[in-house]
Amino acid sequence: MIALSYVWWLAALVLGAAAVFDLRARRWANALFWALIAIVFAAGDAILAADKAGNRLPTQLAGAAVVLMALLAGSGLLKRATVGDGDAEARTASAQRLGHKLFGPALMIPLVTTVLFLLAPYLVAGDWRLFPAGNATVPALALGCCAAVAFALYVTRSRPAQALRESSRLLDQLGWAVVLPMLLAALGGVFEATGVGNAVSALIGQFVATDSRLACTVAYGLGMIVFTVIMGNAFAAFPVITGGIGLPLLIRQHGADPAVVGALGMLTGYCGTLLTPMAANFNIVPAVLLELRDPYGVIRGQALTAVLLAATNITLMYFLAFR
Give which of 245, 204, 205 is closest to 224, Cα–Cα. Answer: 245
The H or E element containing residue 140 is helix 137-156
pLDDT at 30: 92
Look at residue 44 in the predicted model and tell me its pLDDT: 80
More confident: 59 or 160: 160
pLDDT at site 85: 46
More confident residue, 273 or 54: 273
pLDDT reading at 86 higher than 60: no
Report the candidate in 243, 218, 220, 225 with the shortest Cα–Cα distance to residue 279: 225
pLDDT at 313 over 90: yes
pLDDT digits (tens, 9 = 90+) for 16-52: 999 999 999 888 999 999 999 999 888 887 877 777 7
Query: What's the Rg (C-alpha) of the chain?
Result: 23
Q: Can you give the residue ranges of every domain in the chain?
A: 4-174, 180-320
**What's 42's DSSP letter?**
H
Report percent pLDDT > 70 for the chain.
96
pTM, two decimals, is 0.71
Sorted by sequence, the CB contacts under 8 Å of residue 176 that are 6+ apart come out as: 33, 69, 72, 73, 78
Handedness of CA 285, 135, 11, 140 (dihedral sign): negative
CA–CA gap between residue 258 and residue 102 (Å, rounded)? 44
Find which of 43-57, 114-128, 146-160, 304-318 is predicted with most confidence, using mean pLDDT.
304-318
Query: What pLDDT score does 32 carry?
Result: 93
Among 319, 299, 191, 282, CA closest to 244: 191
